[in-house]
Amino acid sequence: MLKGTLEGCVLEIIGAEETYGYAITRRLNDLGFTDVVEGTVYTILLRLEKNGLVQVTKRPSEVGPPRKFYALNEAGREELATFWAKWEYITSRIAKLKEGGS
């Protein structure tokens, strides 16, 4: 039902700013998703790339191995909008359920 929530979060982060896997993991950790680890994020990124939702650019880093920067393309922005719409819907339904609504 809510599968792909973390994927949506990653899309949102990429949509706000072109960034790379390691930084996305740190950002999620800072946001409070403390148990999200790199392995998880990279599998999501690879899936996004495979599904053609992102544009990938490899750039050298001054402090380590080269980074793969991700940016949303048109399909990615549509997917992100779809995700938020779905998220709003589900959360509103669950809120309704919680307050005993019919």
Partner DNA sequence: TACTGCTACATCGTATCACTGAGTAGTGAC
Partner DNA sequence: GTCACTACTCAGTGATACGATGTAGCAGTA
Which residues are at the interface with its own copies (CB under 8 A)? Answer: 1-2, 5-6, 9, 12-13, 16, 30-33, 36, 84, 87, 89, 91-94, 96-98, 100-102
Distance separating alpha carbons of residues 72 and 67, to the nearest angstrom = 16
Q: Minimum distance from CB of 102 to DNA (Å)?
A: 17
Residues in 42-81 that interact with DNA by CB under 7 A: 42-47, 60-68
Distance separating alpha carbons of residues 53 and 15, to the nearest angstrom = 11
5 binds DNA (CB under 7 A): yes
Q: Which residues pair with 58 in a beta bridge?
A: 68
